Amino acid sequence: MWEDIFFFIIMWYSAFLMDIRNIAIIAHVDHGKTTLTDAIMRQCYSLETTGVMTGGEIDKQQEEVVSMDSNQLEKERGITIYAKNTSVMYKGTKINIVDTPGHADFGSEVERVLRSIDSVLLLVDAQEGTMPQTRFVLKKSLELGLKPIVVINKIDKPASDPERTHDDVFTLMMELGATDEQLDFTTVYSISRQGIAKRTMKEESSDLAPLLDIILEKVPIASGKHEDSFCAQVFNLGYDTFLGRLAIARVYAGTVKQGATLIVKQPDVQSRTSKITKLFTFKGTERLEIDEITAGDIVMIAGISDATIGDTLVTDQAQDALLSIAVDEPTISLQLLVNDSPFAGRDGDFVTSRQIRERLERELEVNVGLRIIFDEDGKMMLYGRGELHIAVLLEVMRREGYEMQVSQPHVITKEIDGEKTEPWEEAVIDVPNESSGVVIEKLTRRRGVMVNIHAGDIRTRIVFEIPTRGLMGYRSQFIIDTRGEGILSSRVVGFRKLAGVIETRDVGSMISRETGSASAFALWGLQERGLLYIEPGMEVYIGEVIGNTSKGDEMLSSPTKGKQLSNVRASGTDEAITLKPAFVLTIERGLEVMNDDEYLEITPLHIRLRKKLLTETERARATRSK
C-alpha cells in the first residue's frame, strides 16, 4: 500500500522533478525482446524495494510477477503478438518501455508504436545476425529519424560472433540510408536471459545497469513543453469492464486534468469532443490512477468512447491534427462465412453473420493492419499481412465462442503501370548443410530466385526472393525437410511482376462419404493411402476432408466402417490394429493444406476441412458446368 502511495506522489511531481524517457524494443522474432524487458522490470523492481539490483536467470515465480507476454496465445506460442507498455524507475528517471512483436505478420503493431517513442533498442542475436524483420523495423525507425541503441544479445551462445554481428548492423544501416548521426550508434552486449549487459565484451557485469545508464545518456528527455496547450496522439487501445474503451496515448505537450474536455481530431474528419473520466499512468505492467497527465509521458485515458488509433487529442480547437499513423498494406485475402456445415451450431455461442460482423468491426478498431469488406449476403472478405496474422485473429475468435468457416487464402494482386503484380518476399533460411539441397530444389520449383548462399561448417544460410504464393503452404513441408532444425524467416519486399503458375499442391483429398464416428479399423485401412487428419472416435460428415491422398484429386472413403464380426475364428483375422499419428489440423495447418474448392470449418472445439460442395453429385455437376 505504502509503495503505491509513494509511486503516486512521484508521478504527481513528475512534470517538475523527474525526467521521462520513452523507448521501444525492436528486433526479429526470438531475438530476446520480451526476455530483456522482463529482466529490466525485475531488476528495477528489486532496486526500488531492496536498494540492490540483482541479475541472474529469472525463476518461474518472478516470471509470473513480471512478464510482458500475458496473453494466453503468446504464452503458448512463445512469441509476442501485441505491443505492450510498461514503465520502470531508475535513478529518479521514469523509463517507459514498449515491447513490440518480432514476427513480420504483426509489423503494423511496430509501425504504430514507433511514432510514440524517442529512441529504440535494436536487439540482434549474436549468432543469427541481422534477419528480415531486423531490416523492416530498423528501416521504419530510421525513416522517423530515431537513433537506435544496438544491443547484441545472446553473446553466451557457442556460435555467437558479436564482432561480425556489429559489422552486419552497420552495413544494414548503410544500405537503409542512415544519416551520419544514426550511424554513430552505441553498442551494448547482453545476455538477457541472465539479466546481464556490458559496454564492451571484456567488461565484467552482473546486471543490466550498463544498459540502463546508456538509456539515460543517449535517449532524449521526453518531458518538456509543459506550458504549451495540451496535445497527445492515440497509438493503442485498451478495454475495461466498467470504464469501457481506453485510449493509450503519448503526450507531446501541455498538461491536462481529470474531468477536462478534450477535442478529438483526425485529418480531413470533423472534430468531436469527449470528457475525461479517468487518467492512468503505468507502473510496471499495471495501471495507476492519477489526477493529471503531463508532456512526455505515455498514459491511458478513459472517457473517449469512440477513440481510434491515430486520433489527435487537444484542448485548443485551433491546433491541427497530427499525421495519421500509416501502416503497410495487406498482402493476402480470404473469405469468411457463416458456418453452414452439417455440424454447425453444435459448439459455438456466436454463429450468426450479425454476431461475427460485430466482432470483426471491434477488431478493426485496434488491428490497424487488417482490412475487411462486408457484403450484404453475410460474406466477409478479410485482408491481412500474412497467414499468421489472419490465423491469430481466427484463433482468438474461436476461443471466444465464435463459429465460422473460411476459404483458401490468396495473395492480393494489383496493376502497376499496366502490368499485373503480386507481393514478393525475401526469405532468409538457416538449415543444416545436409538439408540445403532439398530446400533449394523445392523453393526453386515454387518460382524462388536464390540471391545469396553462405555455407558454414555445420549450417548453411540461403537468401531467396520468392512470390508470397510460393511460400504459402510450404512452412510445414520445410519443417519435415529439415527435420525441425531449419529456420525460415521472411519479409515482404514489395509488389513485382506476376510470376506465373506455381504448383504448390501435389496431393489429393481423402473425402468421407458417410456421417458418423470414425473407427480405428477403417482408419487402419486408409492410412496407407495418405496422411490422415482425424483420429478414431472423431465425428465426421459427408463431404468432410479426412486426409490427403498421394494419387488423384479425390478419393472417397468410409472412415466409419467397422470390422465384420462373426462367431467363426480364423487365422489372421485378429491382426493388431496399429495407427500412425494423425496430422491433427490447427488453423495454420488447415490454411496451408486446404484446396481452392474447400472451406476450413472453425469452431470452439473442432477444426475441420470440408468440400464447398459436400456430395459427390454436386461436385460432378459443378465440374461439368465449367
3-state secondary structure string across 400-463: CCECEEECCCEECCEEECCEEEEEEEEEEEEEEHHHHHHHHHHHHHCCCEEEEEEECCCEEEEE
In contact, 196 and 208? CB cutoff 8 Å: yes
Angle ∠(312,296,237) on CA atoms, nearest 5:
45
- CB burial string 466-485: b at 16+ within 10 A, e below: bbbbbbbbbbebbeebbeee
How far is the C-alpha of 131 from the C-alpha of 153, rounded, in Å?
A: 14
Cell of 398: 474461436
| Residue in 588, 506, 516, 518 with CA at minimum distance from that of residue 548 | 506
Tell me which residue has cell 513441408.
Answer: 477
* CATH 3.40.50.300 is right for the domain spanning 19-218: yes
How far is the C-alpha of 598 from the C-alpha of 585, rounded, in Å?
A: 14
3-state secondary structure string across 93-161 = EEEEEEECCCCHHHHHHHHHHHCCCCEEEEEEECCCCCCHHHHHHHHHHHHCCCCCEEEEECCCCCCCC
Amino acid in position 421:
T
The per-residue pLDDT for 151 is 94
The per-residue pLDDT for 61 is 46
Instruction: State the CATH class of domain 414-497.
Output: alpha beta
How far is the C-alpha of 25 from the C-alpha of 29, rounded, in Å?
A: 12
Instruction: State the CATH class of domain 508-625.
Output: mainly beta
Average pLDDT over residues 234-242: 82
> Strand 544-549 and strand 607-611: pairing?
antiparallel
**pLDDT of 64 above 70:** no
Q: Where are the domains of the chain?
A: 19-218, 231-314, 414-497, 508-625
The per-residue pLDDT for 72 is 74
**pLDDT of 153 above 90:** yes
Q: What percent of the chain has pLDDT over 90?
A: 31
**pLDDT of 368 above 90:** no
Cell of 337: 462465412
Q: Which residues pair with 98 in a beta bridge?
A: 24, 85
**pLDDT of 502 above 90:** no
Cell of 126: 549474436
Q: What is the pLDDT of residues 295-311, one digit of tens each?
A: 888 899 999 888 888 88
The per-residue pLDDT for 337 is 93
How far is the C-alpha of 543 from the C-alpha of 407, rounded, in Å?
A: 15
**pLDDT of 409 above 80:** yes
Residues contacting residue 387 through CB under 8 Å, at least 6 positions apart: 105, 332, 409, 472, 588, 591, 592
Q: What is the pLDDT of residues 551-603, one digit of tens each?
A: 777 889 999 988 776 666 655 555 677 888 888 899 988 998 888 899 999 99
The per-residue pLDDT for 569 is 61
Cell of 460: 548453411
How far is the C-alpha of 531 from the C-alpha of 529, rounded, in Å?
A: 7
* Dihedral sign from CA coordinates of 60, 64, 69, 71: positive
Average pLDDT over residues 609-615: 92
**pLDDT of 65 above 70:** no
What band does 52 get if pLDDT is binned at 50, 70 and 90?
A: low
* CATH number belonging to domain 231-314: 2.40.30.10
Q: What is the pLDDT of residues 520-543, one digit of tens each?
A: 988 988 888 888 999 999 999 999
How far is the C-alpha of 447 from the C-alpha of 471, rounded, in Å?
A: 10
Q: What is the pLDDT of residues 160-178, one digit of tens each?
A: 899 999 999 999 999 888 8
**pLDDT of 105 above 80:** no
> Strand 255-257 and strand 371-374: pairing?
unpaired
What band does 4 get if pLDDT is binned at 50, 70 and 90?
A: low
In contact, 278 and 315? CB cutoff 8 Å: no
Task: Give this prediction's pTM.
Answer: 0.81
Average pLDDT over residues 514-520: 92
The per-residue pLDDT for 168 is 92
Q: What is the pLDDT of residues 447-494, one digit of tens each?
A: 999 999 988 888 888 999 999 988 888 888 888 888 888 888 888 888
DSSP state of 291: S
| Residue in 5, 188, 217 with CA at minimum distance from that of residue 93 | 217
What band does 16 get if pLDDT is binned at 50, 70 and 90?
A: very low
**pLDDT of 338 above 60:** yes
Rounded alpha-carbon distances, angstroms, from residue 21 to 117, 120, 196, 295: 8, 11, 21, 11
The per-residue pLDDT for 15 is 44
Average pLDDT over residues 422-436: 89
Q: What percent of the chain has pLDDT over 70?
A: 90
* Dihedral sign from CA coordinates of 587, 593, 596, 599: negative
How far is the C-alpha of 170 from the C-alpha of 129, rounded, in Å?
A: 11
Least confident of 103-117, 203-217, 275-289: 103-117
Q: What is the mean pLDDT of the chain?
A: 84
